[in-house]
Amino acid sequence: GTGDATKAERYVRSEFDFRPAAIIERLGLKRPIYRQTTNYGHFGKPDLPWEHPS
């Protein structure tokens, strides 16, 4: 669109924490469910959330 890019950037920076630790916490990347994706791929495993779309 024709919006002010700097205004949008300021909004995003004020609403989201982009520090690595904050991203890890927000996305739950240390949850052990991701461990099983290291073996034989990450598709077709019924225990994973993306196998059950809402």
Tell me which H or E stretch contains 4. Answer: none
Provide the pLDDT for residue 49: 75
Helix and strand numbers, DSSP H then E, in the chain: 2, 0
What single letter denotes the amino acid at residue 48? L
Residue 33: partners with Cβ closer than 8 Å, 6 or more residues away: 47, 48, 49
Tens-digit pLDDT profile for residues 1-54: 666 778 889 999 999 999 999 999 988 888 877 777 777 776 777 877 778 777
